[in-house]
A and B are shown apart, each in its own frame.
Chain A
Amino acid sequence: MAIGLKVMKRPGTQVSYLRATLKGMALTFSHLWRPKVTMQYPEEKSSKDWTLSPRWRGTHRMLTDEQGRAKCVACGLCPQICPANCIKLVPGEDEHGNRYPLIYEIDEFRCVFCGYCQEVCPEEAIHVGVHYENAEYSRDRFVYDLERLCAQTHPVSTLWDPSDPKGE
C-alpha cells in the first residue's frame, strides 16, 4: 500500500537535564554562524531572500489614460463582486454618451484585499497595488476617493495582468 502507517515509538532513553541543556546550547551556538535571517526593517526594505512579491495585493490604485482621466467606465462590476462591500460607485455620463465614475470611493478599512475588484475589472482600471506602508493621522483619510486613487504611484499587482500570463 502506498500510504503506510507509522507507529511513533518513544525513544527508550532520555538525556539528563544537564546534558539536554548543554546539547541545546551547542546547537543554538552553531546557529550563530549561519546566515542571518532578520532584516532591519525601516532601514532595509528588502533583502536577498525577500523582496515584496510583484503579485502583492495592497492598497488600490486607479490607472489613468493619456489625458489623465481614470480608465474606469463605471460598469459596476467591482462594487458588485466586492465581498466587503467597500466600493462606492455613482456612474455619470458625458455629452458623448461615455460613462465615467462621478463618485468612486474605496474604504480601505473595510477592504479585505482579496483583489477581486482587479480580477473583474474589464478596463484594467482599478488595481491592487504593491504597497504596504499606509499609516495616516486620521481615520477618514482611509476612504480613498477617485482623485487619490489616480494619484497613487506605486506599481500595481501583476495578478490578472497580461504581463504575468500565469497569474490570469
Chain B
Amino acid sequence: MSKRTIAVELATPGLDPQGRPARIPLEAGVGALERYGEPDAGEHMLINIGPQHPATHGVLRLVVELDGETVVRVIPHVGYLHSGFEKLGEYRHYNQIIPLTDRTDYLSPMANNVGFALAAEQLMGIEITPRCTVLRVIACEMSRIISHMVWLGTTSIDLGAFTPFLWAFQERERIYNLQEMWTGARLTTSVTRVGGMMADVTDDFVAGLRQFVDTYPKTLHEIDRVLTRNAVWVGRTQGVGVMTAQEAVNYSLSGPMLRASGVPYDMRRDKPYLAYDSYEFDVPVGEHGDVYDRYLVRLEECHQSNRILRQALERLPDGPLNIGDPRLILPPKSRAMSDMEAMIYHFKQVMEGVKAPVGEAYVGIENPKGELGTYLVSDGTAKPVRWRIRPPSFINLAALPKMAEGHLLSDLIAINASVDIVMGEVDR
C-alpha cells in the first residue's frame, strides 16, 4: 500500500524546538486490519484488559494480541461510558448545558466550563469583562494542576511507585477545597455562565490560592526528587511508546502528548484566548516523544501553571464580573427581587433562554489533556442545533495501538497511562 504524502505548512507549530521552521508531512491513515490482517489466533494469544481494570484508567477495554509477552496489536474498545451529552445539549438552553460540560472531562471540570462558555460567547458576540477573563484563567490553570496531579499519581501507581500518588492527591485535595470555596462543589463546578461567572471569588479563596501557589512547588520538587532520576522509573519509561514529531502530527495528537514529541504547539501560545499572550510562561517541549518525556513535560507544565496562577492573582482587577446586559445574563438576585424591570428580564430569560443569532462557532482551548474544541451551531433559537466536543483524550487514545506495538505487555500499561485518558470525555 502506497502512502500519500502531503506537505503542509502548519500555522505556528511549524517550528522545531530549536526555532527553525519545520514542515511536517501528513500521511493517509491505515486501519488496523489493513495493517496487520486478521488476528492470528493459532499462535498468538488474545487477552482482554478491562473494562473493569484499574490500569486502564476508566472503563476502557483493550483487546491485546500477544506473541509470548510481546504486544502484536492493541485494539481499544470505547463506549462503555457513553452518556449522549452532545445530544442532550440539543434540548437545553446554553446555560443549562454547562452542568453537562463538568461531566465530560471530570478531572478538569472548570476548564471545560470555560471552553463551552467561550464558544457560546463567540456565537453571541459577547465581550467578557476583564475580571471575568482573569478568573477564567485561574479556573483553567487550577484545572490543569489537578488533572496533571491525578495523571502523575495514577501513572506512578501503575508503574509501582505508591508514594508520589499520595503527595499528588494531597495537592489535588487542596485545589478541590478551593473549588469548593468558590463554587460550592468539589467536582461538578458549573462555574461559568454565558457572559460571566456563576459567582465571584471570596477573599478567603484568594488568600487560600496565594498560599497554595507559594507551597505547591515544594511538592513538585519532592516528586521530581523521587522520580526523575530514579533508575526504576527511568527504566520503565525511557524509550517506551515513542512517537516522533511527524507521527504525532499525523495522529493529530495535542497537548502534552504532542509537545513531548517535540512539536511546540500550545493553544495558549499559538491561538491565544483569555489574553493568555499577556502572561509570562514557558511551553515545555520534549525531545524524544516517549513516556518519560511526557512525564517531564507534564511536570514542567505544573510549574508553569503555578507561574500563571501567581501572575493572575497579582493582576486580578476589580470591577464588574458579569457583562451588564440584562438580556443576556441574569441580573443580580437582589435587583431581580426589588426592581420590576430586572424581574421581567429574569423571568423572560429563564423561561425562554438567551437566543443566539444564526451561525456557528468553534473555540479550541488548551485543556490539560490537549486541545478541547467546542463547536456550536445555532438556528436562532435558545438551544443549539448541534453541540460537538473535540475530545483531546479520545484522539490521543487513537495513537495507543501505534505506540504499544512491539512493546512488552507491562509497557502497554505505562503507555496507556501516559496518554492520560479520561473516559467521560472519550465516550461523552
- Report if B358 contacts A (CB, 8 A): no
User: A3-B281, A8-B285, A159-B199 known; A56 and B184 CB under 8 Å?
Assistant: yes
User: A3-B269, A80-B351 known; A166 and B201 CB under 8 Å?
Assistant: yes
A168 touches B351 (CB 8 A): no
- Chain B contact-residue range equals 35 or more
A7 touches B334 (CB 8 A): no
- Report if A37 contacts B (CB, 8 A): yes
A120 touches B346 (CB 8 A): yes
- Chain A contact-residue range equals 35 or more
Residue with the greatest number of chain B CB neighbours at <10 A, chosen from A28, A52, A83: A83
A residues near B347, Cβ cutoff 8 Å: 75, 77, 122
B170 touches A166 (CB 8 A): no
- Report if A9 contacts B (CB, 8 A): yes
A residues near B19, Cβ cutoff 8 Å: 5
Instruction: Tell which of B173, B199, B201, B230 touches A14, judged by Cβ atoms closer than 8 Å.
Output: B230
A residues near B231, Cβ cutoff 8 Å: 14-17, 20
- Report if A102 contacts B (CB, 8 A): no
Docked complex Cα distance between A20 and B184 (Å)? 42
Binary interface encoding of chain A residues 34-73 relative to chain B, with 1 for a CB under 8 A from any of its CBs, else 0: 0001000000000001101101110000000000000000
- Report if A104 contacts B (CB, 8 A): no
B222 touches A27 (CB 8 A): yes
B181 touches A55 (CB 8 A): yes
17 CB-based A-B contacts, threshold 8 Å: A3-B280, A3-B281, A3-B282, A13-B229, A17-B232, A20-B233, A49-B177, A52-B180, A53-B184, A55-B182, A57-B184, A76-B351, A80-B350, A120-B330, A122-B346, A124-B333, A124-B337
Q: Which residues of A contact B (CB under 8 A)?
A: 2-11, 13-17, 20, 23-24, 27-28, 37, 49-50, 52-53, 55-57, 75-77, 80-81, 83-84, 112-116, 119-120, 122, 124, 128, 157, 159-162, 164, 166-168
